[in-house]
Structure 1
Amino acid sequence: MTKHILVPVDGSPQSTAALSFVAEEWPEATVTLLHVINPADAGGNPSAGIPSGAEEWYESEKSRSASLLADAASIVEPNVRMRTEVGRPTRTILDVVDSGEFDHVVMGSHGRSGVSRILLGSVTEAVVRGSPVPVTIVR
């Protein structure tokens, strides 16, 4: 029986679908929502190299994360926890799963294939390959 589910969220329709799936399939489970702030995303910000610019970017991302998690939590209430981490998404998700407190991961997938998957990579695929617990992919 699934008791504690990790659901990485990024605000996409796919992560919302994953949340809805969890709410329907495991209404009694504890759900931890995880949003990963990726420092590589600051690369598009010309002031990211300046400490004050990086701090401003990070504070903005923390605020965005809190908003995303609050919206996501409304889908899977009442047994929900929220968590924000900083790092590369795949590695961070796997590190959180490796903590041992989760018995299932549910993720949305963008469903990319072919060249776009090769060029863009697949966080979901990497989590499936590296996770010590079952992973359900929702499209």
Structure 2
Amino acid sequence: MEILVPVDGSDCSFRALGFGAEMAGRYDGSLDVVHFAESESESTDAVVDRAERVLDAQGVDTEPEVNTDVEVEFRLSDGVGGDILDLVEARGYDHVVMGHHGAGTLERALLGSAAEKVLHAERVPVTVIP
């Protein structure tokens, strides 16, 4: 089983990473971690460092990836969801584990949700962690 865990720096995305790492270990799967950003910066370094600490604690030997193939300065969640789906299709992941912020109705209407976009696309099984 090949599992993708996108992380955005939020606590829920790192809870999802812990769950994904445990799932990969339990099912003898592989785990890829990706963070989408316009460019690498101190912020992306902080996300990668935190992801590495979670992976080390779980005993998972993989390197988090920063995907900078995005061109928009302000990235709506819906766009990130599309990027995740593109990555799933390109690399053939079997499962996605994602955090969800639990945004209110108004916030979801304005910004969308990457997790909801991936979940509703029904292209791959998705586990959503609050």
| TM-score w.r.t. length of structure 2 | 0.77
Q: Which has the larger radius of gyration?
A: 1
Q: Percent identity?
A: 35
The correspondence of residues 46-61 of structure 1 with structure 2, limited to 5 A, is: 58-60=39-41
CA RMSD in angstroms comes to 1.9
Structure 1 runs of 4+ with >6 Å offset: none
Partners of 2:52 and 2:122 lie apart in 1 by 23
Per-residue deviation at 1:110? 0.4
| TM-score w.r.t. length of structure 1 | 0.72
Contact 1:107 1:138 in 2 (8 A): yes
Which consecutive unaligned segments of at least 5 residues does structure 2 have?
A: 71-78
- Residue identity opposite 1:4 in structure 2: E
Per-residue deviation at 1:30? 1.4
| Count, aligned residues | 116
Mapped pair 1:64 → 2:43: yes
Partners of 2:91 and 2:6 lie apart in 1 by 16
Which consecutive unaligned segments of at least 5 residues does structure 1 have?
A: 39-57
Correspondent of 1:84 among 44, 62, 66: 66
The correspondence of residues 2-81 of structure 1 with structure 2, limited to 5 A, is: 3-27=1-25, 28-38=28-38, 58-60=39-41, 63-76=42-55, 77-81=59-63
